[in-house]
């Protein structure tokens, strides 16, 4: 699995991220998993056509790390044409979103 990983989180960093993610992101089916909905401006044609799938990126928050999958998933289907690895634009969007969140929370690694 391709991922963007932030590691060596301090306990205070983890708590800030957990609070932020609980307030701003949808929780996944498992503890510590969050869904970051893909912005419409970075969706490809298939993802735009599959708006009901609500394409998203899964983020796993652990005490010492945050892992962001580079696989775009569907909220309603296990397999769909709108799923696939992030494009370069989507990857850059994800990294920018994570970096912005870290800066807002004053987490400097």
Domains detected in the chain: 3-104 (3.30.310)
What is the model's pTM?
A: 0.92
- The pLDDT mean for the chain works out to 95
**pLDDT tens, position by position, 55-87:** 999 999 999 999 999 999 999 888 999 999 999
* Surface-to-core class of residue 62, CB atoms within 10 Å of its CB (0-12 exposed, 13-18 middle, 19+ buried): exposed
CA separation (Å) from 10 to 6, 14, 79, 97?
Answer: 11, 6, 36, 20
């Amino acid at each position: 699995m391709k991922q963007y990983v932030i590691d060596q989180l301090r306990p205070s960093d983890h708590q800030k991220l957990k609070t932020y993610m609980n307030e701003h992101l949808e929780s996944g089916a498992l503890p510590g998993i969050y869904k970051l909905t893909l912005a419409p401006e970075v969706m490809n044609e298939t993802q735009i056509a599959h708006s009901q799938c609500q394409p998203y990126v899964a983020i796993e928050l652990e005490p010492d790390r945050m892992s962001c999958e580079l696989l775009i998933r569907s909220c309603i289907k296990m397999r769909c044409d709108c799923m696939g690895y992030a494009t370069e634009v989507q990857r850059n969007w994800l990294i920018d979103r994570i970096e912005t969140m870290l800066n807002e929370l004053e987490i400097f690694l």
